[in-house]
Amino acid sequence: MRRALFLSVVASFVLSSCGKAAPPAPTPSPTVALTAQDLTNGVLTAADMGAGWTAVKDPQPDTFQIGGKVGTSTYIHDAGATKTVSFTQDGASGFVTNTVFVLPSVENAQAVMSAHSGQPTTWRQARTDGGYLDAKNAGPVTGLEQLGDDSYSAHVTVTIKPGNSTQTTKRTVEYVAYRIGNVMSFVVAQDVGVAAFARRQEARLARVIP
């Protein structure tokens, strides 16, 4: 009797499990057309940074690259509209740069995200001043969930050797790249955690994209 009851319960569980509908797949974000003015409202602001940070005049896209190959500056030449902001930490070494740009299609943005996979965990990257940096990827940024449709993050320790100096400097870099449809965003932080800034910026960008 007990065996019959057990088999009946198992059968009921299997039938009910098979009858459950699969959860709906998330709707992919479409290709959108945005202007540089649109993107102005989608990047980090002084309010997002909080006290103790100063905006940098004439900010430039960050040149740091995962694996020495993939980063903001790698793909920005393919973009239509772009917007970059940077902030320096008052009295300390913190620095945050956020660049957002619009690629021609969702497929282009997907390719950028795919390029982050399979990169080496240690590498040497040349600097524009003739020096170099040695980097070691320690894994994803702690406590940061997925952003947008697809995202990548890394906590990286670096040793910097400027071209005009024999001295080296150790830094940490936290790097975040994500996309919403065909819109790419990169948030790169030196010597400070990036997670809170990346979340605030994603919220802004999501409100800009129709």
Instruction: Check residue 10 and give its pLDDT.
Output: 35
Q: What is the pTM of this model?
A: 0.85
CATH number at residue 36: 3.40.1000.70
Q: Is residue 13 part of a domain?
A: no
| Domain contains 187 | yes
Structural domain count, the chain? 1
pLDDT score for 29: 76
Mean pLDDT of successive 10-residue stretches along the chain, which has 210 residues: 37 41 61 93 98 98 96 94 98 98 96 97 96 98 97 98 95 98 98 98 95
Distances (CA, A) of 81 to 35, 73, 84: 5, 14, 11
Dist CA 69 CA 15 (whole Å): 51
Domain limits for position 123: 31-208
Establish if 38 belongs to a structural domain. Answer: yes
Angle 109-64-43 (CA atoms, 0-180°, nearest 5)?
55
Domain membership of residue 19 (yes or no) is no
Residues above pLDDT 90, as percent of the chain: 84
